[in-house]
Structure 1
């Protein structure tokens, strides 16, 4: 799908039907026919449009001297549809192509980052600033998603205090997976932002440099927050792993004690069931009580011995 936007003389960002100079072409999951049409119309290298659609593409800046086009690829967060239990996230690339009299954004999915730029009424004639606004929106999206992940973590942690289930552990794993995606993508985005300060294909004015600094600050904040949440989750996982091991040890100790105490009466009864001379005649009515008393005494002796060794 392709939509075209342009800032009007009144400063409003409007959707138009045909391309005009200094307009913005937004491409969402375009077909091969749409890609070829844009390549022919604007003389853009076809790889500039195909690379951002590759989900494994890494963040980078690339400049083509023949067409005078600059490609900026950044990773942005989206909800993982394969995780229905909670809002888990993955990252996908988005491409920003800056040409002489046009801007192209291309992504495999519709994103909030682009929608936020539309709401800001960014001036499409200021192409470099437009690109920085998109990058700032992406960095802001990371911060918002990290806050949602932290809220989910706190809820899961609260439930873990009451009961520990596999379902809750799976949710923790999903949050950890999201943080791994975030940290990897944020660091790659940070490298791109750093390169923007010294690239020659994108001319930055003083206001643009201030905006780029804001992008860098937001991205660094995202990296620091992600690392903090990752350490917290590692601590929680380690603590509950020790707790599970401790509960298992207590269970095994309890079962072992039951086995010991159940074995003692069996030992006494088996002894008196053998063909040996017994101190108590089997014909006496209280003979079975004697065996019970001996078993109880032996169990009491063992219990006191275990209690003194703090095994009980």
Structure 2
């Protein structure tokens, strides 16, 4: 689907959503798109960057956006969206996963018309809004971490540790996207492909500030979760070691009666074997040796080592 509209008096917006081959040919003929640019625009794994092709007047800007705020760990929380800019023309390539970007932009059309925004200013407005989404997900992760930390203080469990690891994984995506976006925005200030006015430079600086703040927040949240996960993993490991030590002591103490009973169960003449109270003597010997070994274990403080 391709929709072209005069978004503002200084910006023609071209909305490209899952185009077929005929629509791709139309984009090539009308706007100078190349097959290489199509490959960049529709690659869900494309990294954030600025790309220009000699055979096209368009400049491609790939920008990472937050597409999932639930932090469920079942899908990647970020994905790229691609802009193509040429003077007064702004082309936005969207997919189902990031379609909300175009919908939010269309909802702000009247505001942008009021200030007669150029194609570059419209794109910068979108990028500024998208940068703010990182704050929401990082705050949500921090709240989730606090909740898990309270639960861990009551009871340390592998499930809580696994949830912390999921949060850490999401933060890796956010950190990578924020670093890539920061690099893209920094390059825009010096790129010859854009006619950047003083107002545009100020907006670029605002986006850069947002991204750097988000990057610092994500780094801090990542470090806190990493330290917390390591600390409680060590607690679980210590608990496991203590359990194994306890079971080892029990196994030693239980082995003593087994050895003694097995010794007196042989078909040979042994002390007390001819007396009616021989079985009491056997039990007594077992109890005495078990107590002696228990005292020996206690003296060596085995359980606390």
Q: Is TM more than 0.5 here?
A: yes
Question: Aligned runs of 1:227-246 on 2, under 5 Å?
Answer: 227-246=219-238
* Stretch of structure 1 that moved more, 70-79 or 22-31: 22-31
TM-score (ref. length: structure 1):
0.83
Corresponding residue of 1:117: 105
1:78 corresponding residue in structure 2 = 67
Please point out which of 293, 299, 310 is paired with 2:290.
299
Alignment of 1:108-257 (within 5 A): 108-109=95-96, 110-120=98-108, 121-123=111-113, 125-163=117-155, 167-257=159-249
CA distance in structure 1 between the aligned counterparts of 2:59 and 2:18, rounded to whole angstroms: 20
Aligned match of 2:49: 60
**In the aligned structure 2, how far is the partner of 1:88 from the partner of 1:154?**
23
Aligned-residue offset at 1:298: 1.6
Q: Does 1:282 align with 2:271?
A: no
* Of 72, 88, 93, the match for 1:106: 93
TM-score by length of 2: 0.85
Q: Which blocks of at least 5 consecutive residues in structure 1 are unaligned?
A: 10-20
**Kindly tell me: are residues 67 and 145 of structure 1, through their superposed partners in 2, closer, same or farther at Cα, counting changes over 3 Å?**
same
**Which deviates more from structure 2 when the two are superposed, residues 60-69 or residues 176-185?**
60-69
Cα 1:163/1:86, change in 2 over 3 Å: farther
Of 251, 255, 264, which aligns to 2:256? Answer: 264
CA distance in 2, matches of 1:97, 1:106: 8
Distance in 2 (alpha carbons) for counterparts of 1:193 and 1:6: 26
Contact 2:73 2:170 in 1 (8 A): no
Q: Provide, for residues 69-90 of structure 1, a one-character-per-residue CA deviation record: whole Å limited to 9, x for no partner.
A: 2221111122299x8x567643
Aligned-pair distance for 1:246?
1.2
Q: Larger deviation: 54-63 or 87-96?
A: 87-96
Aligned to 2:21: 32
C-alpha RMSD over aligned residues? 2.7
In structure 2, what is the Cα distance between the partners aligned to 1:27 and 1:162?
Answer: 52
Shift of 1:192: 0.9
* Corresponding residue pairs, total: 297
Shift of 1:162: 4.4
Counterpart CA distance in 2 for 1:158 and 1:267 is 48
Shift of 1:295: 1.7
Residue 165 of structure 1 deviates from its aligned partner by: 5.1
Instruction: Indicate conservation of the 8 Å contact 1:62/1:72, yes or no.
Output: yes
Shift of 1:205: 1.8
Query: Counterpart in 1 of 2:30?
Result: 41
Pairwise CA distance, 1:234? 1.7
Instruction: Name the CA shift for 1:276/1:311 in 2 (closer, same or farther; >3 Å).
Output: same
Which secondary structure does the structure 2 equivalent of 1:122 belong to?
A: helix
